[in-house]
Structure 1
Amino acid sequence: MDALSEDLELLPATRRALRHRVAVAQREGRSPSLVAAVVRGGEVVWEGSRTCVEGHGPDGNVQYRIGSITKTFTAVLVLRLRDEGLLDLSDPLGKHLPGTGADEVTIAQLLAHTSGLAAETPGEWWERSSAALRPELTDVLGEEPFKHVPGTRFHYSNPGYTLLGSLVEALRGKPWEEVLRAEVLEPLGLRRTSGLPQAPHAGGWAVHPWADVMMPEPSEDLGLMAAAGQLWSTTEDLASFARLLMLGDDRVLSAGSVREMRTSVAPPEPGSADLGYGLGLQLADQGGRRLAGHGGSLPGFVAGLWFSEADDVAAVVLANCTSGLPASTVAADLVAIVSEAEPRIPEPWRPFREDDQVPLELCGPWYWGTSAQVLRLNQDGSLELSPVGATGRPARFRAEPDGTWTGLTGYYAGETLRAVRREDGSVSHLDLASFVFTREPYDPATPVPGGADPQGWRGIG
């Protein structure tokens, strides 16, 4: 591990707590081995492992199969296509990949598991059987691919991500894994992430539920299902991938696009996406801490990658057992251990520079009817709308070149905030999604819908 700055190094008590959590997980989960890593400040600040083999243990360079964390890699590829203008997330799949039997499902619905497609493929358990049984997409979807009306609910779908992998291939004209390597793995330096295992790698094991004995699991090439769960990786590589998901990297995907990935677009599903599901990312609440990431499993392996953007902490856990060890839970626990024991030291407060354009005329109290609100300008140039009382609709807004502001969060996400000016250039009121915000409640000098009573405010006669 590279030398770390004083602010990044973990305290001995924190390191011991991490080591203890990993040790308990490996023992109680009865996994032949487990390897974990924690990222803070963009650096790996802790690595740990446990194994049942004396004198030997995995490290951050040993490959494990990561199962459905593969879906997040696939989502990154799709967002890249969107950012290049090759597709729109609202496009029906059939516009780019016709004839699948799911032509009307949108790309966004596939990414967020709201397509209504079945959770699994028809026929044999696809994760433990030959890809030769599914040579065509029709074999992946079956004769009755839909279980729900598209767009009506969250329903996790492995075939849905198979379609996204085929979409990538159709628009790039190359195999999914080749595109992934050229556009994500190589730019990020993920040399130990691959479709097939590369030594050193762990073997997958099934552990008997009622006796301490094991049996090797078969390792199948998933064929068309690869985009849903094929990849092998390491904690070192996944730590770098976590940095991308938290911060963005213009070589692969911008900060704005990864922020979009971790924004909920599907309703919550307890146990799978507690706060909903984004575009290839699960979202969860951990005692008030917002987490984003993904879990994964295939016969012989379990995996978890979770991060807290607010705390700037990510954790990866990989183990080689079919079940019994909750890798996602353990990864989330590692995030909590560091975040709670060593809270992030905030950046120092700094004022705007003298040459910055600061729209002070928008800041301060405003009223929507009788509801008091406050607009505050943040250091990053965004506007924050907050209710003064117990009720209201908080939101954050991004400045646009034409002087308007676009909502980024909450009820006003995507809506336009516009300052309406008088003839002398001063601000009369704000227009937000047809709502008029005034400096005084129901200001009679502004065009409040319905107007204000000419007698004004008064008490009981």
Structure 2
Amino acid sequence: MKKYILAVLVCALLLTGSADSYAVGLQTGDIDGYTGDIDAYLEASMKQAGIPNVSIGIVRHGEAVYLQDYGRSPDSGESIYPIGSLSKMFTALAVRQLINDGKLKEDAHVDQYLPDFHASYQGNDASVTIGQLIRHTSGISAIDGGMPYIYKAGYSLADIVKKSANLKLNHRPGTAYEYSNLNYIFLGRIAEVVSGCSFEDYVNEEILEPLRMERTFPNAAGLEDGNHIKGHIPFYGAAVSVSYRISAGDSPAGGFLSTTEDLCRFMVCYQQGGRTDEVSLISGNEGSGRQSSGSDVYYDIYWTKIDRKPGMRFTHNGSLPGYSSSILLDTDSGYGIVVLTNSFNQMNLQKNAPTPWSMAEDILEYLTEGKFPEAADVTYDYSIMILLICLLAGLVLFSVFMLRRKIKSKIALFIFLVIPILWIVLVPLIYDSSLEWLLVSNPAVNVSLLCIMASLALVGIVKIFRSRHNT
């Protein structure tokens, strides 16, 4: 499947119990005859994938025609979800506004706006442009864009940019596509510098307020705890509820929270050529950036293009620990679909399990073809969990062996106290992140490692106590 990008002018596992899901209807339009089948499909998908809550919105030809929430607990129908990388749509739009207003130049070098920014490729200085950040062709690596410090609570955009200012690029700028969150974090900071206000204030005033997206937030700072759906992460086959705050510095790349109703407004505005009844969100050269760079994949304020005959489809996905989301637009039928969930198959333990992106595709196929695709059998890969369980079991046996064996107190102190304490203290310091985020981002692995270190420390305490008691 070829991938391109088209301008958008605006724009894990849960144990399946016996509790029945239900839906809270919000609004219907010209798809009334299809909603029963859609509801049944989504409820079956939730049960199959162990997803606690799903929210869906459907638009067609510039009108919201269906909004529905599904879940295991009552909700108002305006459920707020963290939307992960869907946030980039708003950042790209903000940057395009600044470019079209003449406040920012697409071919300008990043260090013109961020003097501390420095990049190198194969030992030589490299210049990165605004356009390359937008299209993910800057050469910045995906690994650099996923460093834990990016998500550290309390870090501002300026803080993250300062820590990330000296980069070794994976590719020569402009020559290859590599998706990296840092591209959009830099863009968010540049928007602040150029506009003279915070990224959050700019997006609120120039995008969210004109679209009346009243339940969309650039970050969780304006929300009280409990005002958004809690995420769920997989942990040894069960789904564990989590609540955490991402730093405001990650807002441009993945920190937004929104509802399907608000995101439908965003899609409707796209379908109306970047306008609402009251305002136009883009001025100047609205076609700017549509030209292909000559590669199969490029990125602007664009979504991934999926070639279809007839028509074209455009999509963007997002994910965070405990959440996943997807938006899909079909130019031929005029349908747009957004799916938000509070679960993420983080370790890929489930094979062929429904995801927001597969749900959106399946629903679109049903609306356009009259039938859902045949569901694939869900299989489970427990190899990672089995390895971790064996590791923990081995630790228990090792601990019993060490407790029965005589060992010098100084050696015991080093093995069983110094090493675990150093791990617990130094790992967050090395990654400049909180231990909480490290545990949430990969719970099965990191919690298991934490248990191992805590167990070693406990054995060390017992060994030292026995050694001193015997002397």
Within-5 A mapping of 1:244-393: 244-247=269-272, 248-249=274-275, 251-254=279-282, 265=293, 267-268=295-296, 276-285=298-307, 289-323=311-345, 325-341=354-370
Q: Measure the CA separation in 2 of the matches of 1:24 and 1:260.
A: 43
**Alignment partner of 1:216: what SS?**
strand
Q: Is the 8 A contact 2:26 2:67 kept in 1?
A: no
Aligned to 2:153: 130
Aligned to 2:377: none
Letter in 2 for 1:295: N
**Alignment partner of 2:138: what SS?**
coil
**Alignment partner of 1:144: what SS?**
strand
Q: Measure the CA separation in 2 of the matches of 1:104 and 1:29.
A: 45
Q: Measure the CA separation in 2 of the matches of 1:259 and 1:333.
A: 31
Which runs of no fewer than 5 residues in structure 2 stay unpaired? 1-24, 120-125, 346-352, 372-471
1:160 and 2:183 matched:
yes
Q: Measure the CA separation in 1 of the matches of 2:69 and 2:331.
A: 25
Shift of 1:120: 3.7
TM-score by length of 1: 0.64
Q: Measure the CA separation in 2 of the matches of 1:88 and 1:232.
A: 29
Q: Is the 8 A contact 2:145 2:181 kept in 1?
A: no
Shift of 1:97: 2.8
Aligned to 1:370: none
Q: Measure the CA separation in 2 of the matches of 1:99 and 1:245.
A: 36
Q: Is the 8 A contact 1:34 1:320 kept in 2?
A: yes
Letter in 2 for 1:332: E
Which runs of no fewer than 5 residues in structure 1 stay unpaired? 270-275, 343-461
Shift of 1:140: 4.6
Shift of 1:219: 1.8
TM-score by length of 2: 0.62
Q: Is the 8 A contact 1:136 1:224 kept in 2?
A: yes
Shift of 1:234: 0.2
Aligned to 2:349: none
1:38 and 2:58 matched:
yes
Aligned to 1:67: 84
Structure 1 residues 381-411: Cα deviation after superposition (integer angstroms, max 9, x where no partner): xxxxxxxxxxxxxxxxxxxxxxxxxxxxxxx
Letter in 1 for 2:281: L
Structure 1 residues 90-119: Cα deviation after superposition (integer angstroms, max 9, x where no partner): 222223333211482111111111111021
Within-5 A mapping of 1:39-54: 39-53=59-73
Identify which of 239, 249, 253 aligns with 2:264: 239
Shift of 1:207: 3.0
Higher RCO, 1 vs 2 (CA within 8 Å, ≥6 residues apart) = 2
Aligned to 2:233: 206
Letter in 2 for 1:334: I
Q: Is the 8 A contact 1:162 1:224 kept in 2?
A: yes
Change (3 A) 1:45 1:255: farther
Q: Measure the CA separation in 2 of the matches of 1:42 and 1:282.
A: 20
Identify which of 213, 224, 227 aligns with 2:252: 227
1:101 and 2:118 matched:
yes
Q: Measure the CA separation in 2 of the matches of 1:244 and 1:126.
A: 35
Change (3 A) 1:149 1:15: same
**Alignment partner of 1:307: what SS?**
strand
Aligned to 1:347: none
1:179 and 2:179 matched:
no
Q: Percent identity?
A: 25
Q: Is the 8 A contact 1:260 1:278 kept in 2?
A: no
